[in-house]
Amino acid sequence: MVKITDGKQVLTVTQNAYKEVFKRSGFTIYGVPQQDDTTIAKHETNATGAQPIKPISQWMRKELAEYLTNNGYTPEGKTEDLREFVKKHMQSAE
């Protein structure tokens, strides 16, 4: 788990959620200067061969459930309904 911030709020999420979802939304690791975060990201990309982030429409149910659980929600219902909820939740967080 890591603490992240967008300058307005501080959240605690998994490393994977940060890399796959929040980082592209402008979140940074809380307490780490911006320049150091960029260096870490470059190192991780080179070391792991990270793939491009998938759009929410391509997320599997497991990924949707992980996102929802990390944000304090219970993943119940059809996969398409979860996908829509995640989209709306991410838009409201911006």
Beta strands in the chain (DSSP E): 2-5, 10-13, 28-29
Residue 25 CB contacts under 8 Å (≥ 6 apart), including other chains: 6, 90, 93, 94
36 and 1 inside one domain: yes
Average pLDDT, integer, range 49-54: 58
47 and 60 inside one domain: no
1 and 44 inside one domain: yes
The confidence score (pLDDT) of residue 34 equals 58
45 and 65 inside one domain: no
45 and 4 inside one domain: yes
Q: Mind listing the pLDDT tens digit for each residue in 7-42?
A: 888 899 998 888 888 888 888 888 766 554 444 444
The confidence score (pLDDT) of residue 36 equals 44
90 and 71 inside one domain: yes
| Residue 94 predicted with pLDDT over 80 | no
Q: Range of 14's domain?
A: 1-51
Q: Over pLDDT 70: what percentage of the chain?
A: 77
Sign of CA dihedral 69, 73, 76, 82: negative
The pTM for the full model equals 0.45
